[in-house]
Each structure stands twice: as C-alpha cells, then as structure tokens.
Copies of this chain bind each other. A is one copy, B any other.
C-alpha cells in the first residue's frame, strides 16, 4: 500500500503553518493516488465517511462529501450578482467543481478554465467524477497554463472571473497580490465581477483586510462573504468579491434558480444575502463600522 507523510495509523492529518495548533483529520480507507507534480504534492484518498478526498501540498482541497457548499458559493455568488454573465474565466479550479456549477446558468455562453497543474485535472477526472463532469460540458474550454499570462492575453474579455485557488503558499501565493487583482480588472468587461477564495475569517483577518484594502484601490465595489465548509480550516471559507461598477450591492442576487429544479444543495437566494452578513469580530478586524 502506498504511504504519505500526512497519513498515520489510518488517518490523514492536515497540519500547516497557516493554522497552527489545529488539525483536521479524516479517516483513510485507501490511498488512491499520490504523485509529485511539477508544482505540488498531489494526493487522493478514499475516506471512510467523506468520499474521495483531494489533497494538495498536504492541504484538503475538496471532499466528495462537502465540496458542494464551496463550489456553489464561489460560482453562484458572482454569477447571480451579475446582470448577464456570458463569458466566464476560472483560474485554478482544476477539480472541475466550479465548472459544474457555472454551466447551470443558462445565460453563460463560454467558460474558460486556466489551471497551472495538469495533474489536478487528470486525477480529478479519474477520482472525483462528480466534480470533474464540469470539464465535459460543451461550453467549457480548458487551458493548462499560467493564469497571469492568460489574463494579460485576454483584456476586456470576461463578465465574471473566479479564482479557485489553494492557499497563499506555493503556486497560489501570487494570486493574493495586488498585481493579480489589477490584471483581473483589465480582463473584465464593464459591470464585471471577480470572486476569489477569501481564506478564513477566524484565522486570516489581517491577510483578508490587506487584500480587501488593496482591492478597494482598484475596484469601486468590494465585499466579503463566507460559507460553511466542514473540511476547510475552522469549517469556514470566505470569498472576496469585486465589481468594476460603482454602487453595486453584490449581496443581492439578480436572478434565482427555480427552487423546484433543485439545482443547488447549499446556495439559495436567501443564503446568498446571508453570506455577506459578517460577525462583529470580522467587521472589526476588517476595519468596517460596527452594526
């Protein structure tokens, strides 16, 4: 049986300097895949209770059990807040789950996914089929390459840009910098929205504050939202949304999925609005006025 440095006595344990002193553990039934790709350590294991689990550089990226809340929220928050999202860019997102959500919007005409690490796409297609089914939709184009370069080559091309990245260490570090937000802005059409994974308000308020403040220098509308994702640190994942149009209320969805179609398992119009309501300590830590 293959081994992995994070797996011991049948349990995977997630420890990193990004959340010192706490660790999520998941029980392992079987290691399905392990490789060192060109960019990172890629692990997929079958867990006892949470389906198959994708791990990059020792950090849980998605479990089949709870991935839907993250994928739905990072996709539907910006798409539902946009008046008419036709051309969408996803940077990262190599498991395909965000694609699966984006193509649920009939308004969408094209989705391009730019993932730097082909290994993530390859193993997701093999071991995370319910996420990777997004890759097979006719509106989807996949580019294996650098998101920075792709943005530079595609100015003014997108209604919505979603950055579904790993944490700001390793290959995703640059995706939290001001330069990246400036590039995304240039690649947006008028009224365009970007949505990036926004780390955890319980752990990373100074980082989040810094990203929000530098974004406000570039975008007239900036907001922070969050969702419950059990297998992310603290069970809590944030989203940073920026719009190049002034005075937009991104907490208000402009369309709804017909409830009877049950398109989503986490997202609803009510959940959309509630996701922008921040606890008192978050508002304080981000320098927002008390409410």
Contact = CB atoms under 8 A, between A and B. Distances in A.
Determine the main DSSP class of A at the interface with B. Answer: mixed
Interface stretch (A170-178, A211-219, A277-285): A277-285
A24 B26 contact: no
B260 A280 contact: no
Contacts of A280: 262, 264-268, 271
Interface string A267-291: 1111101100111110110000111
A108 interface: no
Most buried by B among A20, A228, A236, A283: A228
A95 to B, nearest CB: 20
A22 B13 contact: no
A89 B20 CA distance: 38
A269 B277 CA distance: 10
Interface residues of A, number: 49
A47 interface: yes
Interface string A253-269: 00000011010111111
Copies of the polypeptide in the assembly: 2
Interface string A94-121: 0000000000000000000000000000
Interface in A77-106: none
Contacts of A289: 259
Most buried by B among A49, A68, A271: A271
Contacts of A25: 13, 22-25
Contacts of A279: 69, 228, 265-268, 271
Interface string A188-225: 00000000000000100000000000000000000000
Nearest to A269: B291
A23 B47 CA distance: 13
A34 interface: no
Q: Which 6 A-B pairs have the closest CB atoms?
A: A235-B235, A21-B49, A230-B234, A259-B290, A274-B274, A274-B277
5 contacts: A22-B230, A68-B281, A202-B228, A268-B291, A273-B274
Contacts of A68: 281
B11 A23 contact: yes
Nearest to A264: B280
A108 to B, nearest CB: 21
Nearest to A227: B279
A279 B262 CA distance: 12
A66 interface: yes
A27 interface: yes
Contact of A260 (B228, B230, B271, B290): B290
A50 interface: yes
Interface string A43-68: 00001111000000000000000101
